């Protein structure tokens, strides 16, 4: 059974999430000590996260957090829990996990950007801007924070020109990221520059045609300014 666990870990490190999960699912965890069970739960939680099976992921990630077996993995799992809660619009739970980390002395760019995203989902734009700026205080070139801050400044009409500036910087860092191209296209749209908006929104759509937000932005552009 330990060999099966190690094979699953090997596949996980190769980013073969489905294969790794198949190995983990046949492990007889009843023969494991608490530390081994925590390790199994850790890898299963991350596999389910990568496969976007979030409800399954939560079950295993929470096991790692409550076990206390490995403090560093516990921190990573809290961050992953917060990420899942944020993208599934359970923002209060995301904030709880992140504030638990901050209360324990942890501070990171990922914490601030996830807090910002959670605030944005609740339309708490000023708070989101504050969190993104805190992330940029730690790393002025962080693409996630640049993109998030730029998008909110433009979308919420707080400072569309400044928002466009930040979105451009994010795309400079990650020129093939569909979400960043979408944000830049939307920032151009919010600044009334529709030719540039069309170019970037179409590029974003070509990379991620099933992304609902990109489709919504393209539809708004075709329908005219809002």
Sign of CA dihedral 127, 150, 87, 82: negative
Domain that holds residue 142: 108-226
For residues 76 and 94, membership in a common domain is answered with yes
For residues 95 and 190, membership in a common domain is answered with no
For residues 122 and 18, membership in a common domain is answered with no
Cβ neighbours, 10 Å, residue 163: 25
For residues 63 and 137, membership in a common domain is answered with no
CATH number at 50 reads 1.25.40.10
Q: Which of 76, 106, 136 is the last residue of a domain?
A: 106
For residues 70 and 116, membership in a common domain is answered with no
For residues 17 and 62, membership in a common domain is answered with yes
DSSP 160-179: HHHHHHHHHHHHHH-TT-HH
For residues 80 and 114, membership in a common domain is answered with no
For residues 142 and 179, membership in a common domain is answered with yes
For residues 117 and 83, membership in a common domain is answered with no
Count the domains in the chain.
2
For residues 126 and 174, membership in a common domain is answered with yes
Give the separation between CA 45 and CA 59, rounded to whole angstroms.
7
- pLDDT truncated to tens, each residue of the chain (226 aa)? 567 889 999 999 999 999 999 999 998 888 788 888 899 999 999 999 999 999 999 999 999 999 887 888 989 999 999 999 988 989 899 989 998 888 888 889 999 999 999 999 889 999 999 999 999 999 999 999 999 999 999 999 999 999 999 999 999 999 999 999 999 999 999 999 999 999 999 999 999 999 999 999 999 998 754 4
User: Which one-letter DSSP state was computed for residue 31?
Assistant: G
């Amino acid at each position: 059974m330990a060999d099966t666990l190690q094979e699953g870990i090997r596949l996980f490190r190769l980013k073969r999430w489905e294969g790794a999960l198949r190995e983990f699912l046949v492990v007889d965890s009843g023969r494991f000590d608490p530390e081994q069970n925590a390790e199994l739960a850790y890898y299963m939680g991350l596999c389910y996260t990568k496969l976007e099976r979030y409800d399954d992921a939560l079950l295993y990630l929470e096991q790692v957090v409550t076990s206390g077996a490995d403090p560093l993995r516990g921190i990573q799992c809290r961050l992953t829990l917060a990420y899942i809660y944020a993208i599934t619009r359970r923002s209060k739970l995301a904030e709880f996990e992140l504030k638990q980390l901050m209360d324990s002395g942890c501070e990171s760019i990922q914490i601030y950007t996830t807090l910002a995203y959670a605030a944005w989902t609740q339309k708490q734009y000023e708070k989101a801007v504050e969190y993104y700026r805190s992330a940029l205080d730690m790393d002025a070139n962080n693409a996630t924070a640049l993109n998030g801050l730029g998008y909110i400044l433009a979308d919420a009409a707080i400072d569309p020109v400044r928002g466009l500036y930040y979105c451009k910087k994010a795309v400079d860092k990650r020129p093939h990221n569909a979400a960043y191209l979408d944000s830049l296209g939307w920032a151009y749209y919010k600044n009334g520059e529709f030719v540039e908006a069309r170019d970037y929104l179409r590029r974003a759509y070509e990379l991620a045609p099933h992304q609902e937000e990109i489709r919504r932005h393209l539809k708004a552009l075709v329908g005219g300014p809002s």
